[in-house]
Chain A
Amino acid sequence: MSGVDVLLWGVLPYVMVVILVSGTIWRYRYDKFGWTTRSSELYESRLLRIGSPLFHFGLLVVIIGHVIGLLIPESWTDAIGLSEHAYHIQALVLGGIAGFCTLVGVGILVYRRRTSGPVFMATTRNDKLMYVVLVAAIVAGLATTVLGTGIIGEQHSYRETVSPWFRSLFVLQPDVASMGQSNLEFKIHTLIGMLLFTIWPFTRLVHAFTAPLAYLFRPYIVYRSRDAGPATRPTRRGWDRVG
């Protein structure tokens, strides 16, 4: 367990969480107006209609896969009689397909961004940086799926290295040693993932945090009173409400 390991797997994750949480709160408080999908569907919809659902739905499956793989200990799947081998097969098939969809989707979206004039014009530097990190994270993730499951190269059971480390982070006792034993692909993927979450609050990705699930439960027609409060008429400096 080297000092680098401690830094990467014992300190960095917490730095990331602090930036992610405080950055998100800060953005929500001071830039509500900028909190949007910044959709470009108005300019171009043919490619978007293929690329965007492919990417987003793929990503949702990928997220579920991560949750299962990282949070559910190996002993639990063993207990329900799912063998190590069977688990890897399903992870490879499901994860591979979802990851592939995500990659193709983001590929279409990037291609669209580059080739459709108005969409390219509307692309900021912030977007470009975000795309680089996002695509890198997806590619590295796919690489771990393909390489780690032993199709090419040696099989690597991340559920004995990465997952225990991930869970240990929550109890504030990072199991740096476990993570240190995982292979290079997993380390790279994890690092890029942490980078992605670090820049997350400062990019358009924030829209994911306001996925409108409440829509399923609210009444259709929304009434609001004119004096609904600070959202409609900002009070001025020095006139903060009491209580």
Chain B
Amino acid sequence: MRVMAQLGMVMNLDKCIGCHTCSVTCKQAWTNRSGVEYVWFNNVETRPGQGYPRRYSDQETWKGGWVRTARGRLRLRAGGRFKKLLSIFANPVLPNIRDYYEPWTYDYETLTDAPLGDDFPVAQPKSLISGQPMAVEWSANWDDDLGGAPEHGPRDPIVERIRTESEDKVRFEYERAFMFFLPRICEHCLNPSCVASCPSGAMYKRAEDGIVLVDQDQCRGWRMCVTGCPYKKVYFNHRTGKAEKCTFCYPRVEVGLPTVCSETCVGRLRYIGLFLYDADRVTEAASVENEHDLYPAQLELLLDPHDPQVIAAARRSGIAEDWISAAQHSPVYKLAKQYRVALPLHPEFRTMPMVWYIPPLSPVVDRLTETGHDGEDAGNLFGAIDALRIPIEYLAELFTAGDPEPVRTVLQKLAAMRSYMRDVTLERPRDESIATAVGMTGGEIVEMYRLLAIAKYEQRYVIPTAYSGEARELEELGCSLDVDGGPGMVAGSGPFGEASGRPLPVSVETFHALRHRQTSEELADPGEPGARINLLNWDGKGRPAGLFPPRRTASEPESGTADPTADPRPDTPMAKDRP
């Protein structure tokens, strides 16, 4: 047993309202540069729908992930090492920019520059790739909210698959349509096929926390990772010629902050925490024969952080105590392994993805009530699960390689939770049989309810900081003038005044400030007289002392008053010409 730690995420799909806040904040943080205009480390797909890039999950076309050979070994679907090197001069299955979309802007200038005339000037869309005017025909969420579903919906690879099995399950007529949202980031897989595909060895999995990264200095732009990732979550920066991907916001999680997408999620549906897993058995688990066994095999890899043997093994592999304790409080471990309500996305790709999803229970209660049933009665709910608007078959194709059983169990647990909690809320006697029917105890159900419904920030995100031993390295190394009282200690400035000296690493500075702001109730007050407040860290609360320069009193004449051109309103902080 070789214990390794892995940061994982769980998303509760019942709560996703498809607002795309996560995508936009992620983009603002990481990919608002030229060359990555089309890159969405986080994207939110409407299901049924084609996803981004178009039909990415159809591996017959895109050749991502692993396949199991007849001899029971894993092979990259796009071909082994030799084939990769032979096709290195032109990757045969690289998505074209049009499979994503051609990024564009609008020619806003004509709005202000157009000569006076009878027609209103319009801002034409212009391609950011070729600079030419273009027709906008597709984008990262073109089929958002089932837009154009009659036309685009049937091209969803899962719809295609279940349609051939049972004609009726997926409908796109308005009355019978269903949809839900699927936010996606890189899965930070345990068995990442992107890493395995990289000829230069520039992609790697971080040994400490399992985050999968691209070394920008070592990447040579061979583009094999783009093909290798079955989730199409490695993107090619067409300006720099390097691959880029979701970084799990590693500069944030290193200081204990959640990723930007989680932090800003409107539905508060994301959970981040640690898994401990057995690295020696990953390949074995990823190569089980029956695809339906992949989800159970993946669960098997996750080790119980309370088991003394596991703890001992973790210590042997050098995992720090605070990390072990974080793993014990990990919300993702609870949801994925303990309650078993979170499922992996497309386990059949055999990459052992580490972003898990709680499938949506669709508006089942209202439907039951409409038809004159008690919508929160456990029996009725269990019965209704197979008649849900979102067909179980569809969810099973997404989360369990097509096996409906685990999905049904999860939905039953969620239904049981509603039913059981109704009795709790109404202070009626609790019906323990509801809990036992889904293999849980009443206590567990209440705990799960608390985690899913009302968990606070600290419970949703249990992120240990980078090794305490390394904590000092995360800070900037001190300069020799930084002794107490030395010139280096003036807050926020170097020996030659503000902003002189070596710059603080921007990430460390702002992340600490951000963290402070999020976890404290006080004003963003620098505290010392004379110190200025960094506006970036001001959260609008109150009027901290350093916000404006101190007022001058009448008895304290300004040095320049003899000058007739001096500002006559010395009290106004905004006055111009103020030194």
Q: What 1/0 flags go to B71-93 for Cβ under 8 Å of A?
A: 00000000001101100111110
- Write out the residue numbers on chain B whose beta carbons fall within 8 Å of the beta carbon of A48: 90
B215 near A: Cβ within 8 Å?
yes
Q: How far is the CA of A214 from the CA of B200 in the complex (A)?
A: 8
Of A76-84, A94-102, A114-122, A142-150, the stretch lying at the interface with chain B is A114-122
User: Is the CB–CB distance between A38 and B221 below 8 Å?
Assistant: yes
CB within 8 Å of A: which B90-143 residues: 90-92, 94, 96-97, 127, 129-132
CB within 8 Å of B: which A193-226 residues: 207, 210, 212-216, 218, 220-226
B261 near A: Cβ within 8 Å?
no
User: Is the CB–CB distance between A42 and B94 below 8 Å?
Assistant: yes
- Write out the residue numbers on chain B whose beta carbons fall within 8 Å of the beta carbon of A55: 89
B101 smallest CB distance to A (angstroms): 12
User: Is the CB–CB distance between B220 and A36 below 8 Å?
Assistant: yes
Q: How far is the CA of A44 from the CA of B221 in the complex (A)?
A: 15
Q: What 1/0 flags go to B198-233 for Cβ under 8 Å of A?
A: 111101111111000001111111110000000000
Q: How far is the CA of A220 from the CA of B287 in the complex (A)?
A: 15
B8 near A: Cβ within 8 Å?
no
Among A48, A225, A227, max chain B CB count under 10 A is at: A227
B517 near A: Cβ within 8 Å?
no
Q: How far is the CA of A231 from the CA of B466 in the complex (A)?
A: 18
User: Is the CB–CB distance between A32 and B217 below 8 Å?
Assistant: yes
Of B146-154, B235-243, B320-328, the stretch lying at the interface with chain A is B235-243
B191 near A: Cβ within 8 Å?
yes
With CB as the reference atom, state the residue of chain A lying closest to B4: A223
Q: How far is the CA of A103 from the CA of B218 in the complex (A)?
A: 30
User: Is the CB–CB distance between A39 and B241 below 8 Å?
Assistant: yes
Total interface residues on A, CB under 8 Å, equals 46
- Write out the residue numbers on chain A whose beta carbons fall within 8 Å of the beta carbon of B192: 221
Q: How far is the CA of A233 from the CA of B216 in the complex (A)?
A: 12
A37 near B: Cβ within 8 Å?
yes
- Write out the residue numbers on chain A whose beta carbons fall within 8 Å of the beta carbon of B219: 36
CB within 8 Å of B: which A35-90 residues: 35-45, 48-49, 52-53, 55-57
Among A57, A117, A207, A215, max chain B CB count under 10 A is at: A215
- Write out the residue numbers on chain A whose beta carbons fall within 8 Å of the beta carbon of B173: none
Interface bracket on B: 35 or more
- Say whether, besides A42-B238, A49-B92, A236-B502, A117 and B470 are in contact (CB < 8 Å): no
Among A223, A226, A227, max chain B CB count under 10 A is at: A226
- Write out the residue numbers on chain A whose beta carbons fall within 8 Å of the beta carbon of B345: none
Q: What 1/0 flags go to B517-546 for Cβ under 8 Å of A?
A: 000000000000000000000000000000
Q: How far is the CA of A233 from the CA of B238 in the complex (A)?
A: 25
User: Is the CB–CB distance between A221 and B238 below 8 Å?
Assistant: no
With CB as the reference atom, state the residue of chain B lying closest to A234: B217
Q: How far is the CA of A42 from the CA of B232 in the complex (A)?
A: 14
User: Is the CB–CB distance between B90 and A225 below 8 Å?
Assistant: no
- Say whether, besides A39-B241, A226-B206, A236-B477, A221 and B221 are in contact (CB < 8 Å): no
- Say whether, besides A41-B223, A215-B199, A236-B502, A221 and B205 are in contact (CB < 8 Å): yes
A93 smallest CB distance to B (angstroms): 24
Which of A44, A53, A218, A236 lies in contact with B201, CB distance below 8 A? A218
User: Is the CB–CB distance between A222 and B195 below 8 Å?
Assistant: yes
Q: How far is the CA of A39 from the CA of B87 in the complex (A)?
A: 14
B457 smallest CB distance to A (angstroms): 25
Main secondary structure of the interface of A (DSSP, over half): loop
B370 near A: Cβ within 8 Å?
no
A170 near B: Cβ within 8 Å?
no
- Write out the residue numbers on chain B whose beta carbons fall within 8 Å of the beta carbon of A118: 97, 127, 129-130
B40 smallest CB distance to A (angstroms): 15
B473 near A: Cβ within 8 Å?
yes
With CB as the reference atom, state the residue of chain A lying closest to B209: A226
A229 smallest CB distance to B (angstroms): 12
User: Is the CB–CB distance between A207 and B221 below 8 Å?
Assistant: yes
A141 smallest CB distance to B (angstroms): 20
Q: How far is the CA of A55 from the CA of B88 in the complex (A)?
A: 12
Q: How far is the CA of A128 from the CA of B216 in the complex (A)?
A: 25
B349 smallest CB distance to A (angstroms): 15
B196 near A: Cβ within 8 Å?
yes
User: Is the CB–CB distance between B196 and A221 below 8 Å?
Assistant: yes
- Write out the residue numbers on chain A whose beta carbons fall within 8 Å of the beta carbon of B89: 52-53, 55-57
Q: How far is the CA of A221 from the CA of B92 in the complex (A)?
A: 23
Which of A52, A231, A232, A239 lies in contact with B477, CB distance below 8 A? A239
With CB as the reference atom, state the residue of chain B lying closest to A219: B196
With CB as the reference atom, state the residue of chain B lying closest to A222: B204
- Write out the residue numbers on chain A whose beta carbons fall within 8 Å of the beta carbon of B205: 221-224
Instruction: Report 8 cross-chain contacts, Cβ distance below 8 Å, ordered by A residue.
Output: A33-B217, A42-B94, A42-B97, A212-B222, A216-B81, A223-B206, A225-B207, A227-B473
The 9 closest A-B pairs by CB, nearest first: A212-B199, A220-B196, A36-B241, A32-B217, A117-B130, A38-B241, A36-B221, A224-B204, A215-B199
Interface residue ranges, B against A (CB under 8 Å): 81-82, 84-85, 88-92, 94, 96-97, 127, 129-132, 191-192, 195-196, 198-201, 203-209, 215-223, 236, 238-242, 466, 470, 473, 477, 502
Q: A42-B238, A210-B220 are in contact. List 13 more A-B contacts (CB 8 A).
A: A33-B216, A38-B221, A39-B241, A56-B89, A118-B130, A214-B201, A216-B81, A216-B85, A218-B201, A223-B206, A224-B215, A226-B466, A231-B215
Interface residue ranges, A against B (CB under 8 Å): 32-33, 35-45, 48-49, 52-53, 55-57, 117-118, 121-122, 207, 210, 212-216, 218, 220-227, 231-233, 236-237, 239
